[in-house]
């Protein structure tokens, strides 16, 4: 996607440098007693793209709805856009733009009318409205499609219209709830990069919900990993991957394996053999290893020995499921040229520095 430098410039001018969003002690308990969100502190920096990542039901949409003003946090929670307390401000006056999974475009309107809708509702005079719509259409590379009905657009074009419509009224914050999950896999891969680029072009503070780690890592500056109503860690993708805060984050981002076993000082005694740890650890500490951090070697000289149970060819590498480590097979990635097959005994080793040790 070619991005027009003039459009970027106009985008920065139109949307300013972005709004800081600060949530303090925000929790949400629904009337039926469901505690969808535990007390949460979270800051989204001006112009930052933050992903809320976690399994279904962990509270991502709940958190997004609190920022949007579609729901109110429990008593004691505070939400500020820059220095403005927005708790009492309903969605229509909070200056947020929203993009939903289905895009929810108005099917009976063309692209231009969809994009201009919010400005019209706000009562923006015609001349100013047209100017703004034209600028946003150009920013989102929709000029040539302006007069098309939205029913005659591809998935990628619809996504751009949905984002254009949401940002046209110059919201302070753009909120997106699973914008890619209704698409098929091939289209999703392509639109992921497009969306990442478009959001950067707009230089607007954005919070975007997904359950897909690849999507979160590809689009966001920072990813907040959630579990059961708690933000477990909010960090840049590289940091999440290299220094996960706990076993849940290690497993959810990058699929680290838990290693069952007993800690003895700086060793982990597993059912498959003994591994050296990077440091002494306390009893009850948990140890995780990424599939790509395990090396396969000859069984006789290896610290661990297991048996290949399944081998899946994934193009760039094989994924092996190796038995002998407890109830679940150990997931290991090996290069596509030298993968052992099912039934084979294999030796395994892990550089201690590539183990994650989490204290109890």
Q: In what order do the strands lie in the sheet with 84-85?
A: 35-44, 21-29, 78-81, 84-85
Q: Which is nearer to ligand ADP, 55 or 76 (CB)?
A: 55
Q: In what order do the strands lie in the sheet with 355-358?
A: 257-259, 286-289, 355-358
User: Which 60-89 positions form the footprint of ligand ADP (CB under 6 A)?
Assistant: 60-62
Residue among 2, 5, 56, 315 that touches ligand ADP (CB under 6 A): 56
Q: Which is nearer to ligand ADP, 58 or 224 (CB)?
A: 58
Q: Does 58 bind ligand ADP (CB under 6 A)?
A: yes
270 binds, among ligand ADP, Mg ion, none (CB under 5 to 8 A by kind): none
What SS3 state is found at 224?
Answer: strand
Query: Which span sits near ligand ADP by CB under 6 A: 17-25, 58-66, 150-158, 247-255?
Result: 58-66
Q: Does 59 bind ligand ADP (CB under 6 A)?
A: yes
Measured between alpha carbons, how far is 45 from 242 in angstroms, rounded to an integer? 22
Q: In what order do the strands lie in the sheet with 173-177?
A: 96-99, 173-177, 205-210, 49-53, 222-227, 230-235
Provide, rounded to whole angstroms, the least separation between the CB of residue 124 and ligand ADP: 33
Measured between alpha carbons, how far is 178 from 212 in angstroms, rounded to an integer? 9
Q: Could you tell me if 64 and 207 are in contact, meaning their C-beta atoms sit under 8 angstroms apart?
A: yes
Provide, rounded to whole angstroms, the least separation between the CB of residue 57 and ligand ADP: 4
Measured between alpha carbons, how far is 198 from 287 in angstroms, rounded to an integer? 39
Q: Name the residue with the smallest CB distance to Mg ion.
A: 61
Q: Which residues contact 180 (CB under 8 A, 6 or more apart)?
A: 159, 188, 191, 192, 195, 210, 212, 215
Provide, rounded to whole angstroms, the least separation between the CB of residue 52 and ligand ADP: 8
Pairing type for strands 173-177 and 96-99 reads parallel
Query: Which span sits near ligand ADP by CB under 6 A: 27-35, 111-119, 342-350, 352-360?
Result: 27-35
What does DSSP assign to residue 340?
P
Q: Does 30 bind ligand ADP (CB under 6 A)?
A: yes
Pairing type for strands 173-177 and 222-227 reads unpaired
Q: Which is nearer to ligand ADP, 18 or 54 (CB)?
A: 54
Residue among 1, 9, 13, 57 that touches ligand ADP (CB under 6 A): 57
Measured between alpha carbons, how far is 108 from 335 in angstroms, rounded to an integer? 52
258 binds, among ligand ADP, Mg ion, none (CB under 5 to 8 A by kind): none
Number of residues forming the site for Mg ion (CB under 5 A)? 1
62 binds, among Mg ion, ligand ADP, none (CB under 5 to 8 A by kind): ligand ADP
The string of DSSP codes covering 268-309 is EEETTEEEE-SS---TT-EEEE-GGGEEEE-GGG-SEEEEEE
Q: Does 40 bind ligand ADP (CB under 6 A)?
A: no
Q: Does 36 bind ligand ADP (CB under 6 A)?
A: yes
Q: Does 181 bind ligand ADP (CB under 6 A)?
A: no
* Cα–chain center distance at 230: 15
Q: Does 61 bind Mg ion (CB under 5 A)?
A: yes
Measured between alpha carbons, how far is 155 from 102 in angstroms, rounded to an integer? 10
Q: Which residues contact 5 (CB under 8 A, 6 or more apart)?
A: none
30 binds, among ligand ADP, Mg ion, none (CB under 5 to 8 A by kind): ligand ADP
Number of residues forming the site for ligand ADP (CB under 6 A)? 12
Q: Which is nearer to ligand ADP, 63 or 168 (CB)?
A: 63
Q: Which is nearer to Mg ion, 36 or 350 (CB)?
A: 36
Judged by the rule CB under 5 A, the positions of this chain that interact with Mg ion are: 61
Judged by the rule CB under 6 A, the positions of this chain that interact with ligand ADP are: 30, 32, 34, 36, 54, 56-62
């Amino acid at each position: 996607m070619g991005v027009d430098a003039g459009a970027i410039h106009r985008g920065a001018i139109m949307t300013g440098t972005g709004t800081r969003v600060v949530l303090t002690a925000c929790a949400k308990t629904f009337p039926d007693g469901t505690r969808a969100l535990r007390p949460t502190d979270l800051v989204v920096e001006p112009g930052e793209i933050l992903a809320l990542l976690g399994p279904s039901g962990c509270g991502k949409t709940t958190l997004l709805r609190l920022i949007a003003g579609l729901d109110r946090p429990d008593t004691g929670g505070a939400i500020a856009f820059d220095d403005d307390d927005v708790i009492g401000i309903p969605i229509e006056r909070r200056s947020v733009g929203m993009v939903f999974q289905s895009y929810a475009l108005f099917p009976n309107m063309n692209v231009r009318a969809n994009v201009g809708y919010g400005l019209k509702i706000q009562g923006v005079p015609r001349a100013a409205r047209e100017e703004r719509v034209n600028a946003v259409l150009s920013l989102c590379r929709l000029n040539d499609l302006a007069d098309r009905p939205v029913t005659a657009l591809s998935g990628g074009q619809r996504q751009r219209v949905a984002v254009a419509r949401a940002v046209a009224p110059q919201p302070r914050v753009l909120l997106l709830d699973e914008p890619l999950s209704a698409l098929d896999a091939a289209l999703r891969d392509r639109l992921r990069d497009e969306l990442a680029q478009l959001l950067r072009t707009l230089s607007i503070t954005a919070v975007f919900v997904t359950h897909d780690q690849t999507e979160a890592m590809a689009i966001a500056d920072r990813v907040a990993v959630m579990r059961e109503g708690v933000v477990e860690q909010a960090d840049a993708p590289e940091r999440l991957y290299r220094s996960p805060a706990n076993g849940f984050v290690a497993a959810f981002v990058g699929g680290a394996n838990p290693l069952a076993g007993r800690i003895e000082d700086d060793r982990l005694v597993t059912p498959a053999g003994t591994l050296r740890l990077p440091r002494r650890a306390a009893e009850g500490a948990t140890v995780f290893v990424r599939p790509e951090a395990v090396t396969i070697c000859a069984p006789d000289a290896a610290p661990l020995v297991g048996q290949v149970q399944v081998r899946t060819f994934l193009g760039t590498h094989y994924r092996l499921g190796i038995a002998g480590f407890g109830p679940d097979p150990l997931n290991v990635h090996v290069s596509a040229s030298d993968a052992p097959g099912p039934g084979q005994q294999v030796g395994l080793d892990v550089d201690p520095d590539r183990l994650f040790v989490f204290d109890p």
